[in-house]
Amino acid sequence: MPSNLRRRARRLKQRAVSRRIPLRVRFRRGRGRRVRRLFIAFLVLIATLCGSVVVAYKLTVIPKAHPETVTQSTVFLDDKGAYLGRRGPVDRQDVPLAQVPRHVQDAVIAAENRSFRTDTGVSPRAIARAVVATVTGGERQGGSTITQQYVKNALLSPEQSLSRKAREALIAVKLDRTRSKDEILEGYLNTVYFGRGAAGIKAAARNYFDVDPKDLTVSQGAALASIVNIPSYYEKAGSDPKVTAKLRYRWEWVLDAMAASGAISAEQRDGARFPAFRFYPPGATEGQRQYLIDVAAKEAADRLGITEDQLARGGYTVHTTFDLALQDATNELVKEHPGGKGVRMHTAVVAIEPGDGAVRLLYGGSDYARQPFNDAVNGAVEAGTALEPLTRMKLGAPLAQLPTATAPTPLTLASAYAAVAANGRYAAPYTVTKIIRDGRTVHTARPDVRDVLSEKEALVASKLMAGRPLPASPLGLTYPNVFFTGGAGGGITRRTVWSTGYDSQLALTLALFADRPGKHKQEQEQEQGQGQKQKQKQKQKQTSVPAQLPNEPSPASFAEQTVLRIWNEARSDQSR
C-alpha cells in the first residue's frame, strides 16, 4: 500500500478514534433494543405468574368443612312444635335448601353476589366494582362471591391474610367446578353469620322473626339478606334507630335489585313493608324452659345411647310432650302464692296422660337460675294421706315400693294416680316423643305400659279418692271426674299437701311443701402436707329441713284451687 495512503488511513483512524459518539446518541441508538428486552421480560413475568397460578390451582384441594363451623345445636320443641329452647355451643341448625323460599335465596344473592348463579367462583367484575364503590362511596357490595364467603366461613379457619385470600379464591374456583350452585348456596345459607348469636338461616329466622325459614316473607327475607353484610352491627335493628335506618336503606337497595332482576314483581316491590323485629336481647322465657330442656335432654341422650354433650352438638330436633302454654299458665298460677315468712315454698305439678305416659306438664321450680333442682322429678315430698287409697293394694312393679314409701317424688306419685286413672294400667312417664336428625326420624317413643292393678282394684282406689265432698268453686270452674287431696300433717300444721284431679285423658297432681334453711354443716378438708394454712379448706354446706306450710292462704285450698284452675286451663286448651 502506498505510504501516503497508509498515513492517511492512520490519520483517519485516529480521527475516527478521537471522535467518540456522545453518550446520549449511543443511548438513543440502543433504545429500541432495550424496550424490546423489557417487553419480553414483562411477558415472561406474566407467563410465570400464570403458570404459578395454574400449578397452585392443581395443587389445591378442597378442605373438609371446619368442625367448628358445622356444629349445630339441638333444638327442643313442645308438643305443638313451638320452640322450647336449644342446647349446644352455637345457635345453628341445618336446613335443606328446599325449605328456604326462592325469594329468600334471591334476596341473599342480590345482597351479596348478584352474579352468583352464573359466575365461576370468583368474579373479577365484583372485585372491580367493590373497589369503585369503596372509592366513590357507593353502596357496599363486597368483592367476595358467595362461594368465596362460604369457603372463608366454613372451610377455612378464621385467619385473614393475603395468602389466605389467594387460597380462598383458588378453593372457590375449584368448588364451583365440582359442586352445583344449589349445594354451595345451601352450605352458605347454613353457615353464614347473621348476628344475634345465630349462624345459618334457620336460627336467624327464629332469632329475628320467630318463624321457620319456609315462612319468611319477601320483606323479612330481604332484611335478613341485608344483615349479612355487617351482622354484628345490624343485629341491633329494631332497638337502635340509627341502625334501623341504615338497615332500611340497605333493605330498599336489596329489594330494588330483586325487582330489577325480576326475582320479585313490581307489585311485590311496592307492597313490601319494612318488617318488625324481635327484641334483642330477647325477653326472658328461660324461667321454666330450662327445667323442661334438662329433663328432655337427659331422656333423649339415654334413648339414643349418646352423651348429653354429643346430643347438644348433633343437630337433633327433639319433639317433647310438654304443653308450653299450659306450663306457662301454671307458672303464673303458682306465682300467686304469696310465700311464707322464713320458709321457702315449693310447688311441684305433674300432668300425665293416663295409659300413655306422656308428661304434659312438669313444674318443678319457678326459676332455674336460682334453683336448678327439679322438685317434681327429684324432690322427696312426704306423702302422708295422699297414699291412703293405695296403701292396702298390691301394686306391680315398678310401683311395688310405693305404698310403703314415705316421701315419693311427685312424678312417681303422679304416675301412680295416672295408673289408677287408666284402670290399673301403668305407663312409664316419658317426655320425648320423637327425635329427628337431618330430616330422618332417629327415635320414636313407644308407650311402655304394664298392668300394675287389676281393674277392680283400680276402681276401688278411684272410689276412695273421689269419695269426698267437693267444695264449690268460687270461680265457676269445672271439676275433673276424680278430685282428691291429701298430705302430711293436718289442721293448722300441714307439712305437705297433695292435690290430684284426673279423668281418662289427663291426670294432674300438685304437691305443695316447704322447707327452711337448716343448720350449717361445716366440713373441713385438710390437705395432707406440712399444715400450710392455705391448704385447709372449710366448706359450708347449706342444708334445708322440711318446714310447716304457712297457713295463710290455706295450703289445702290453695292447692285445690290451683289444680282446678290448671285443669280448666288444660281443658280449654284441648277444646280449642
Partner 1 sequence: MLPTSHDFASHDFASEHLARSQDGRAQDGRSQDGNAQDGRSQDGNAQDGRSQDGTSHTFAVCARNRWPRLVVTAHLLADDLPAAEELVRRTLARVNAGWRRVPRNDVDFHMQRELVRTYLRGQRRPAARRAARWRVVLVLRYWEGRSEAETAQLLGCSTGALRAHAKRALKAAGTDPAGVRKSLARVAADVVPSVVPLDDLHKRAGAWRRRRTAVVATVCAAVLAPAAFFAVERIGDDGASGSSGTSSDMTSGPIRIVAPGERVKAAPGVEVWLTTDGEHWSEPGNPNNFRGISEDGFTETGARAQEEPVDHLRKPTGAEGADGAAPTAEAAEASEAAGKSEGSGKERADTGRPGLSVAGVNANPADGSHFLTGLYYGVDGDPGRVEVRAGGKKMTASVLTLAGSPGWGVWYVSAPLSAADAKLFLAAVEFGAAGGRGGAAGDGGGSVTVYDARGEVLARSGTGE
List residues near partner 1 by CB under 8 A.
1, 5, 8-9, 12-13, 15-16, 21, 25-26, 28-30, 32-33, 82-83, 114, 125, 128-129, 132-133, 138-139, 209-211, 215, 238, 249, 252-253, 255-257, 260, 269-270, 272-279, 282-285, 324-325, 328, 332-333, 335-336, 475-478, 568, 571-572, 575
Least separation in angstroms between residue 178's CB and partner 1 is 28
User: Which residues share a beta bridge with 198?
Assistant: 91, 195
Neighbours of 112 (CB within 10 A): 22
CA distances 498 to 212, 473, 495, Å, are: 41, 18, 10
Q: How far apart are the first and last CA of the chain?
A: 133
Cβ proximity to partner 1: between 308 and 573 the closer is 573
Measured from the CB atom, the residue of 323 and 560 that comes closer to partner 1 is: 323
Nearer to partner 1 (CB atom), residue 270 or residue 552: 270
Rounded distance between C-alpha atoms, residue 537 and residue 561, angstroms = 48
Least Å from the CB of residue 162 to partner 1 = 25
Name the grid cell of 229. Answer: 353484610
Q: In sequence order, which ranges of 137-209 are alpha helices (DSSP H)?
A: 146-150, 162-178, 181-191, 201-209
Q: Minimum Å distance from CB 125 to partner 1?
A: 6
264: CB partners within 8 A, 6+ apart: 103, 106, 218, 255, 258, 272
Q: Which residues contact 140 (CB under 8 A, 6 or more apart)?
A: 130, 133, 134, 229
Nearer to partner 1, 283 or 469 (CB): 283
The Cα angle at residue 24 between residues 23 and 25, in degrees rounded to 5: 90
Whether the CB-CB separation of 308 and 298 falls below 8 Å is answered with yes
The rounded Cα 271 to chain-centroid distance in angstroms is 32
Q: How far is the CB of 203 from partner 1 (least distance, A)?
A: 14
| CA pair distance 60, 187, nearest whole angstrom | 20
DSSP string over 20-55: PPPHHHHHHHTHHHHHHHHHHHHHHHHHHHHHHHHH
Nearer to partner 1, 2 or 67 (CB): 2
Least spacing, CB of residue 283 vs partner 1, in Å: 4
Q: Which is nearer to partner 1, 238 or 489 (CB)?
A: 238
Centroid of chain to Cα 109? 25
CB of 335 to partner 1, least distance (A): 6
In the complex with partner 1, the residue whose CB is nearer, 59 or 475, is 475
Nearer to partner 1, 178 or 478 (CB): 478
**What single string gives the DSSP state of each residue in 391-450?**
HTS-PPTTSTTGGG-SS--HHHHHHHHHHHHTTTEEE--B-EEEEEETTEEEEE----EE
Shortest spacing between CB 258 and partner 1, in angstroms: 10
Judged by beta carbon, residue 29 or residue 541, the one nearer partner 1 is 29
Closest to partner 1 by CB, 268 or 454: 268
Q: Do the Cβ atoms of 343 and 514 come closer than 8 Å?
A: yes
Nearer Cβ to partner 1 (179/269): 269
Name the phi and psi angles at 221, rounded to 5. Answer: -60, -45
- Taking the complex as a whole, how short is the minimal distance between the CB of residue 531 and partner 1, in angstroms? 53
How many CB atoms lie under 10 A from the CB of residue 147?
29
Contacts of 170 (CB under 8 A, 6+ apart): 56, 57, 60
Give the shortest CB-249-to-partner 1 separation in angstroms: 7
Quick one: which of 466, 511, 508 has its CA closest to 487? 511
Closer to partner 1 by CB, 32 or 531: give it: 32
Smallest gap from Cβ 261 to partner 1, in A, equals 8
- CB 15 to partner 1: min, Å: 7
Ramachandran category for residue 305: left, alpha or beta (phi over 0 → left; psi -120 to 50 → alpha): left
Q: How many other C-beta atoms lie within 10 A of the C-beta of residue 434? A: 15
Which of residues 118 and 528 has its CB atom nearest to partner 1 in the complex? 118
Q: Closest approach of Cβ 173 to partner 1, in Å?
A: 20
CB of 538 to partner 1, least distance (A): 40
